[in-house]
Structure 1
């Protein structure tokens, strides 16, 4: 199975901006608040469609069903493609939210998956901050009181971030993305979000977004907080690599390509997002071009591929 490119899926969000157009050149109408680009998705909300090549026009869920050994590796199987890959443009701050774990989601959300995720900071304005958990000692009752008084910020653990930083967000951790941040997000294939606090914002029709306070209080781990991960790069032939996340749900590396770099799949699929620069991906006698902002899915049936150019990649796999 050749490496797969997909048609971009754009999601309008109340907090979105135009960075996907200005930075990456996507054809987006002026004035549209695009908050998310779903790069690779087999989610119930939206399923990616192959663009180009011999599988042109085929949906990812169809490929996963009909070519699971080629895609995942022999003997491996998932109900749906296990990862959801996004680029998030937070022109304004996102809601304060939390995601359930698999057990809670299965019981309360019609058998859906929970959501553990990570963020790679592509760009951030000076002083930009994220919320990663709660201040030490915050209790459930204190949290509810501050929420009722509209001053939830008093208990949130804020972290200032810079381009290149990584944040790991396990299920149960309260979190929020601040304004002026562009992120590559790797997550479980789930779109379950419990909003706790949304700054009393309204949409274009004057409607507030739904909150999910009761469910959020069920799943919040009040002891969870995290700090940013500053990747530590190891020099390899043709570039450098930093292994930033190693969880049971996914593993993620940040790869910097300086010239030409060989990558082994190790018998599993690889997702690639080009967050900066551009490159060519070669396997056997075929070559495919990837521009900044584009992504690709390399199947387990390809043992090794070569990336040539000058770029920064986010690689994820299970």
Structure 2
């Protein structure tokens, strides 16, 4: 199989902006607030279609069914593709929210899976902040009381971030993205979100968005909070690599390419998101161009491949 590029899937959001057009040159729908680009998805909400090559127009789910060993690795099977890869443009702040774990989702969301995720900060305005958990000592009762008073900000753990920072968001942790931040998000293949607080915003029709307070209170871990991870790069031939997340759901590296960097799939699929610069992916049977903002799915059967150029990529795998 060849490396797979997919047609972009744009999601309109109340908090979206135009960074996907201005930074990466995507032809986004005119007049829409586009908050998310779903780069690689086999979710019930949206399934990616291959863009170009011999599988042009074929859905990721169909490829996985027909070519699972080549795509995932010999003998590996996931049902649906296990990751959902996004770029998020938070022109305004997102709702305060939480995601369930696998067990809760299975029993309360018709057998669905939970959602653990991570964020790589592509760009951020000076002073931009994320909410990552709750202030130490916050109890469920205090949390509920502050919700009723519409003063939830008093218990939220805020951190300031800049481009290049990484944050890990396990299921059960209250979180939100602040305004003026562009993020590459790697997550479990789940679209389950429980909104807790939305700053009393209304949509274009004057309606408030739905909240899911009862379910959120079921799944929040009141002891969880997170700080940013500053990648620690290790030199390799032609560049440097930082391993930033190792969880049971995915592992993620940030790869900085100065000339050429060699990668081994080790019999598992890789996803690549080009967050800065441009380059080529060279493999035994050919090569694929990758521009800033684009993504590739590298099938396990590719084996070794080389990234050339002057660029920065986010690599994830299971």
**TM-score between the two structures when normalised by the length of structure 1:** 0.99
User: How far apart, in 2, do the equivalents of 1:94 and 1:31 lie?
Assistant: 20
Q: How does 1:73-92 map to 2 (within 5 A)?
A: 73-92=73-92
Partner of 2:272: 272
Partner of 1:282: 282
Is 1:298 aligned with 2:293?
no
Partner of 1:248: 248
Is 1:3 aligned with 2:9?
no
Partner of 1:203: 203
* Root-mean-square deviation over aligned CA pairs: 0.6
Partner of 1:58: 58
Partner of 2:176: 176
CA distances 1:147-182 after superposition (whole Å, capped 9, x unpaired):
000000000000000000000000000000000000
User: How far apart, in 1, do the equivalents of 2:28 and 2:74 lie?
Assistant: 39
Q: How does 1:1-318 map to 2 (within 5 A)?
A: 1-318=1-318
User: How far apart, in 1, do the equivalents of 2:260 and 2:81 lie?
Assistant: 29
Could you list the structure 1 runs, at least 4 aligned residues long, displaced by more than 6 angstroms after superposition.
none
User: How far apart, in 2, do the equivalents of 1:2 and 1:287 lie?
Assistant: 9
3-state SS in 2 of match to 1:105: helix
- What is the Cα deviation at residue 207 of structure 1? 1.1
3-state SS in 2 of match to 1:301: helix
User: How far apart, in 2, do the equivalents of 1:316 and 1:116 lie?
Assistant: 14
Report the more deviating stretch, 280-289 or 245-254: 280-289
- What is the Cα deviation at residue 12 of structure 1? 0.2
User: How far apart, in 1, do the equivalents of 2:29 and 2:119 lie?
Assistant: 27
- What is the Cα deviation at residue 204 of structure 1? 1.1
User: Any stretches of 5+ residues in structure 1 without a counterpart?
Assistant: none
- What is the Cα deviation at residue 32 of structure 1? 1.4
User: Any stretches of 5+ residues in structure 2 without a counterpart?
Assistant: none
User: How far apart, in 2, do the equivalents of 1:225 and 1:206 lie?
Assistant: 33
User: How far apart, in 2, do the equivalents of 1:106 and 1:128 lie?
Assistant: 35
- What is the Cα deviation at residue 205 of structure 1? 1.2
- What is the Cα deviation at residue 31 of structure 1? 2.8
User: How far apart, in 2, do the equivalents of 1:52 and 1:152 lie?
Assistant: 47
User: How far apart, in 2, do the equivalents of 1:317 and 1:145 lie?
Assistant: 41
CA distances 1:271-314 after superposition (whole Å, capped 9, x unpaired):
00000000011111411111000000000001100111010000
User: How far apart, in 2, do the equivalents of 1:176 and 1:169 lie?
Assistant: 10
Report the more deviating stretch, 278-287 or 14-23: 278-287
- What is the Cα deviation at residue 30 of structure 1? 4.0
- Size of the aligned set, in residue pairs, is 318
